Amino acid sequence: MSSDPKSPSSADSFDVIVIGAGPAGYPAAIRAAQNKLSVACIDEWKNHDGTATFGGTCLNAGCIPSKALLESTELYHRAHEEFAVHGIKLEGIGLDLAQMQKRKSGIVRAMTQGIVALFKAAGVTGLHGHGRLLPGRKVEFTAHDGSRRTLSARHVVLASGSAPMPLSSTPFKPPHIVDSWGALEFEAVPKRLGVIGCGVIGLELGSVWRRLGSEVVIIEALPDFLAFADQQLAREALRQFKKQGLDIRTGAKVSGATVSGNAVEVTYSDAKGEQRVSVERLVVAIGRRPYTKDLFAPDTGVQLDERGFIKVDEHCRTGVENVWAIGDCVRGPMLAHKGKEEGVMVADLIAARYGEMNYKVIPFVIYTAPEIAWVGLTEEQVKASGRDYKTGTFPFLASGRARALEQTQGFAKIVAARNDDEILGVHIVGPFAGELIAEAVLAMEYSASSEDLQRTIHAHPTLAEAVHEAALSVDKRSIDSINR
């Protein structure tokens, strides 16, 4: 470490160099600086207009722009479909998609510029350009203007993220066949939109354009809808999405797509044989894969697993001394908050502080309407483990707050162990599920029992009461719903 911890011995030498300034890398850099280490954070991201920004996929092309559009389109949908029920009369509701996109871009700009300010305040040196790890913890930095220099560090953190997975039968052909980023930037509402992949991203993007009037067909190869989620939750979500007009076709394998004029002809096969569907735009959202292109020289010793993820242990050590890897480029769910906590853990471990990550309580959220959120094990997983369990559910229909919101679809469900009552999983489909799940995450982090939640006072009338009542229902003691 340099003698003055915040001033590197030379402009090219740091305690820590982080490659990647997405939601894994930039928090790692900030925490390392908070730990009084000298830090550089390198990122090569360029937006479609050529501007170089920090924030990675999440801020530029993922979590943030998608949530901005989900919010705007939900308001548009509610103005059309729900305001009249509230007694609000609106006439001439129109869509200004250019303004909607401008608002989204403004949010992205504010958030990414926020990282510049955070770096400055923390004393992190932010560098726009490509970083490549060389042996001996040297990092070759190539700035966007092509100039090159070699930096050195005591520790290097690889946080290079992920990229959309291509589908070999259906290569990207913008503007007709696009990835998720392309689907966030449409300048007109497609009359008919095809989405390949009914995962989190496919459902969110499908919802955005459906609410603006697109006929949306989602084609999913797996036979079950949201196969990775609790199936009671998945069934309820599917029912709601179908009611909204999302045409979800499961067990359907896409074999190709051809573009002619402004139409994309998609062919797929399902149980009934070969099928075709014609759409104006097609989004390929079949998942993401780790991105490690040109990230490290072959003789550094960093290794990839068979799926292309950088190999790490439970503390994100790569096995090469003082080289760490975090976020989407390593095993585990590809989620911004998972990467952030790994970044914080690694930065604390580097500073010889306590650092640990509880992979068992990572929340998952799908920001559709209704929202879907869960943490811990599904009922199916608990059943398969052989552990005896009990469940409690509470429908939002019985929640005064949900009724006031006119959002009574869905329920909160808790799965708890029968022997010691420990909460094993919480599953919510309904209004603000993504916010409500935080209480469940905290409860599980502290190994709470359902009785702990039962004995915790929840304000009335709030949506959080649904979680409280679901906990009571685990022991058939719900007050506001009939115990079954």
Ligand X SMILES: Cc1cc2nc3c(=O)[nH]c(=O)nc-3n(C[C@H](O)[C@H](O)[C@H](O)COP(=O)(O)OP(=O)(O)OC[C@H]3O[C@@H](n4cnc5c(N)ncnc54)[C@H](O)[C@@H]3O)c2cc1C
Task: Give dist(CA 442, CA 27) in Å, integer.
Answer: 21
Pick from 18, 40, 58, 466 the residue near ligand X by CB under 6 A: 58
Ranges assigned E (strand) in 271-312: 273-279, 281-284, 288-290
> Shortest Cβ distance from residue 401 to ligand X (Å)?
24
Binding of ligand X by 73 (CB under 6 A): no
Pick from 35, 180, 318, 368 the residue near ligand X by CB under 6 A: 180
| 58 vs 375, beta carbon nearer ligand X | 58
Pick from 161, 190, 376, 392 the residue near ligand X by CB under 6 A: 161
> Shortest Cβ distance from residue 341 to ligand X (Å)?
11
| 364 vs 411, beta carbon nearer ligand X | 364
Binding of ligand X by 395 (CB under 6 A): no
| 63 vs 349, beta carbon nearer ligand X | 63
Binding of ligand X by 346 (CB under 6 A): no
| 304 vs 417, beta carbon nearer ligand X | 304
| Amino acid (1-letter code) at residue 112 | T
Pick from 295, 325, 424, 470 the residue near ligand X by CB under 6 A: 295
φ/ψ of 249, rounded to 5, equals -115, 105
| Amino acid (1-letter code) at residue 408 | T
Ranges assigned E (strand) in 330-471: 364-366, 371-376, 389-395, 411-417, 423-430
Binding of ligand X by 27 (CB under 6 A): no
Identify whether 460 is a catalytic site residue: yes
3-class DSSP assignment, residue 56? helix
Binding of ligand X by 20 (CB under 6 A): yes
Binding of ligand X by 57 (CB under 6 A): yes
**Binding segment for ligand X among 160-168, 251-259, 273-281, 445-453 (CB under 6 A)?**
160-168
Binding of ligand X by 363 (CB under 6 A): no
Catalytic residue among 48, 144, 315, 460: 460
Tell me the per-residue interface mask from 110 to 149 with ligand X, x by CB under 6 A, - otherwise: --------------------xx------------------
Pick from 23, 206, 395, 425 the residue near ligand X by CB under 6 A: 23
Task: Give dist(CA 479, CA 313) in Å, integer.
Answer: 46
Per the structure block, which two tokens stand in for 63? 């979590």
Binding of ligand X by 104 (CB under 6 A): no
Task: Give dist(CA 364, CA 427) in Å, integer.
Answer: 10
| 433 vs 471, beta carbon nearer ligand X | 433
> Shortest Cβ distance from residue 295 to ligand X (Å)?
5
| 159 vs 402, beta carbon nearer ligand X | 159
Task: Give dist(CA 484, CA 471) in Å, integer.
Answer: 14
Strand partners of residue 200: none
Binding of ligand X by 17 (CB under 6 A): no
| 233 vs 334, beta carbon nearer ligand X | 334
Task: Give dist(CA 364, CA 334) in Å, integer.
Answer: 10
> Shortest Cβ distance from residue 388 to ligand X (Å)?
33
- What is the β-pairing status of strands 263-270 and 273-279? antiparallel
Footprint on residues 364-393 left by ligand X (CB under 6 A): 367
**Binding segment for ligand X among 14-22, 32-40, 228-236, 404-412 (CB under 6 A)?**
14-22
Binding of ligand X by 195 (CB under 6 A): no
Binding of ligand X by 336 (CB under 6 A): yes
Task: Give dist(CA 363, CA 385) in Å, integer.
Answer: 21
φ/ψ of 302, rounded to 5, equals -70, 135
Query: How many beta carbons lie within 10 A of that of residue 263, not counting itself?
Result: 16
* 446-464 b/e (C-beta count within 10 Å ≥ 16 → b): eebbbbebbeeebeeebbb
> Shortest Cβ distance from residue 385 to ligand X (Å)?
26
Pick from 16, 18, 33, 63 the residue near ligand X by CB under 6 A: 63
Per the structure block, which two tokens stand in for 385? 């483990």
Give 353-362 contacts, CB < 8 A, sequence gap 24+. 353/35, 355/315, 356/315, 357/314, 357/315, 357/316, 358/445, 359/314, 359/332, 360/444, 361/441, 361/444, 361/445, 362/332, 362/333, 362/335, 362/337, 362/338
Binding of ligand X by 194 (CB under 6 A): no
Pick from 8, 339, 376, 425 the residue near ligand X by CB under 6 A: 339
Pick from 56, 182, 197, 370 the residue near ligand X by CB under 6 A: 56
Q: Under the phi-then-psi rule, with left for phi > 0, alpha for psi from -120 to 50, and beta for the rest, what region is 245?
A: left
DSSP-derived letter for residue 328 is G
For 57, the enclosing helix (H) or strand (E) is helix 56-61
Catalytic residues, by residue number, are 460
Residues that bind ligand X (CB under 6 A): 19-25, 42-45, 56-58, 62-63, 66, 130-131, 159-162, 180, 201, 291, 294-295, 327-328, 334-337, 339, 367
